[in-house]
Amino acid sequence: MSGQPGPHANPIRDSTNRIKLGVFATNGSGAAFTFHPDRFVPTWDANVRLAQLAETLGFEAFVSAAHWKSFGGDGHYSGDLMETFTWAGAVAAVTRRIGIVSTVHVTVNHPVFVAKAEATVDLVSNGRAGMNLVLGWYPPDMELFGYKVKEHSDRFELAEEWIEIFDRLWAGRKSFDYSGKNYQLKAAFSQPHGVQTRPVLLNAGRSPRGRAFAAKHCDIAFLSAHNPAPSALRQQVDDIRAEARENYGRDIQIWMSAYVVLRDTQAEAEAYAHDYIVTQGDDAAVQNIIHHNAIDTKSMPPEAAARLAYNLKAGFAGYPLVGDADRIAGLFASLSAAGVDGFLLTWLDYEGGLARFGRDILPRLEAAGLRAPAPPE
Ligand SMILES: Cc1cc2nc3c(=O)[nH]c(=O)nc-3n(C[C@H](O)[C@H](O)[C@H](O)COP(=O)(O)O)c2cc1C
């Protein structure tokens, strides 16, 4: 088992590793909300080092996040987030194997622009481009463009038109007129064309409508992963996979996002997590996120509200991979057994964290038959 795709396959979609891995959100300050000094500073040099290290380790994906305004007011660190197509083109130029994913707000990025931008990344990367399609939930992101956050069903109605237009532009060899509720296009056409038949598409919809969108159009859907018991996730995984297969005749991958805190002992990992999440956590930023999500924490039991804030500060509500190497490798094995195909990973200290992950976790996943060793450069 080589774990790597053939010459024209996409490194993410076509990997044969049972557990596929991506690094998430290094175009910005990562996924944690904290004032801890180890918090990632998203310089371009650090992005180059991380993309190249992830590639050397055999990771399948290097995935950006997209927001237009910070979560903590003007100048807050969470606003330092590089634009995702510009970033992807540059990452493509300094890597050779890894899949590169631009997160795209379909509600503000016109499909005509996106078809050209994504084709450019696909050409620069020789067929390694992908997109994480997000619909926009954070009001300041939309108001900056002069829009309101659309009602949930209206967002998905727009997304259906958007993906139809994108697909026709990507694959089409003839211009077309389009008249929809959200878009009117005349003689729509996009050149140059990309290398792939279609870029790999991710969508993290969690609502029934969001899940249906991912099942119908995307290659990778995401689990709602707040419940820490891997066995409890099996049903969710099966449901999403079955929805794609039965309703749309498609086989999709199911991934989850997870934050990693790896130390020599469980106690050390938990102490470090407590320090960055609780002692030095950025409570104002997460309360702002909760407020803008219209989540009424007052109507929640206090423990549930506190848990939500904790999960957001820890790693934007990703799954906790906290502990020593054996425990983390064991969690990967249980989540894989529950049917999870891949993980978008975040760290507080990405550079030290990814290097250590390569030393301590990857050999364990290989020994367990969950990943093949990275191919030689
Ligand atoms: C792994 C992951 C990454 C996400 N990245 C972004 C992002 O970069 N920008 C953004 O606006 N939303 C992002 N989201 C939010 C989702 O796009 C979406 O709003 C959310 O999952 C709710 O889905 P729903 O509309 O079906 O309820 C992300 C969600 C997940 C789980």
Nearest CA to ligand 1 atom 9: 66
How would DSSP label each residue in 159-222?
A: HHHHHHHHHHHHH-SS-EEEE-SS-EEEEE---S--SSSS-EEEE---SHHHHHHHHHH-SEEE
Cα–ligand 1 centroid distance for 16 (angstroms): 26
CA distances from 114 to 162, 199, 336, 348, 354 (A): 10, 12, 33, 31, 31
Ligand 1 within 6 A of 99 CB? no
Instruction: Tell me whether residue 275 is in a domain.
Output: no
The H or E element containing residue 262 is strand 253-262
Could you identify the atom of ligand 1 that is nearest to the CA of residue 25? 8
Instruction: Tell me whether residue 372 is in a domain.
Output: no
- Please answer whether residues 292 and 83 qualify as being in contact, where contact means their C-beta atoms are separated by less than 8 angstroms: no
Instruction: Tell me whether residue 281 is in a domain.
Output: no
Instruction: Tell me whether residue 357 is in a domain.
Output: yes
What pLDDT tens digit does each residue of the chain (377 aa) get? 334 444 468 999 999 999 999 999 999 999 999 999 999 999 999 999 999 999 999 999 999 999 999 999 999 999 999 999 999 999 999 999 999 999 999 999 999 999 999 999 999 999 999 999 999 999 999 999 998 888 889 999 999 999 999 999 999 999 999 999 999 999 999 999 999 999 999 999 888 999 999 999 999 999 977 666 777 889 889 999 999 999 999 999 999 999 999 999 999 999 999 999 999 999 999 999 998 887 667 778 888 889 999 999 999 999 999 999 999 999 999 999 999 999 999 999 999 999 999 999 999 999 999 999 998 87
> What integer pLDDT is reported at residue 6 of this predicted model?
45
Torsion (CA) 193, 87, 365, 329 in degrees, nearest 10: -140
Nearest CA to ligand 1 atom 6: 65
How would DSSP label each residue in 157-177?
A: HHHHHHHHHHHHHHH-SS-EE
Ligand 1 within 6 A of 205 CB? yes
Instruction: Tell me whether residue 376 is in a domain.
Output: no
Q: What is the CATH number of the domain that holds 76?
A: 3.20.20.30
User: Which residue range is the domain that position 225 belongs to?
Assistant: 20-269+318-367
Could you identify the atom of ligand 1 that is nearest to the CA of residue 137? 19
Distance, CA of 39 to CA of 353 (rounded, Å): 11
**Three-class SS of residue 293?**
coil
Ligand 1 within 6 A of 30 CB? no
Pocket test residue of 12, 83, 134 for ligand 1, highest count of atoms within 8 A of CB: 134
Number of domains in the chain: 1
Ligand 1 within 6 A of 207 CB? yes
Residue 199 neighbours by CB under 8 Å, 6+ apart: 10, 118, 122, 129, 130, 131, 170
Nearest CA to ligand 1 atom 12: 134
Give burial (CB, 10 Å; 0-12/13-18/19+) of 184: exposed
Cα–ligand 1 centroid distance for 174 (angstroms): 33
Ligand 1 within 6 A of 344 CB? yes
Instruction: Tell me whether residue 213 is in a domain.
Output: yes
Torsional class of 58: left (φ above 0), alpha (ψ -120 to 50), beta (otherwise): left
Ligand 1 within 6 A of 101 CB? no
Ligand 1 within 6 A of 78 CB? no
Instruction: Tell me whether residue 12 is in a domain.
Output: no
Instruction: Name the pTM for this structure.
Output: 0.96
Could you identify the atom of ligand 1 that is nearest to the CA of residue 155? 25
Q: Count the neighbouring beta carbons within 10 Å of the beta carbon of residue 88.
A: 30
Q: What are phi and psi of 275, to 5 degrees?
A: -65, -50
> What integer pLDDT is reported at residue 5 of this predicted model?
44
The H or E element containing residue 132 is strand 129-134
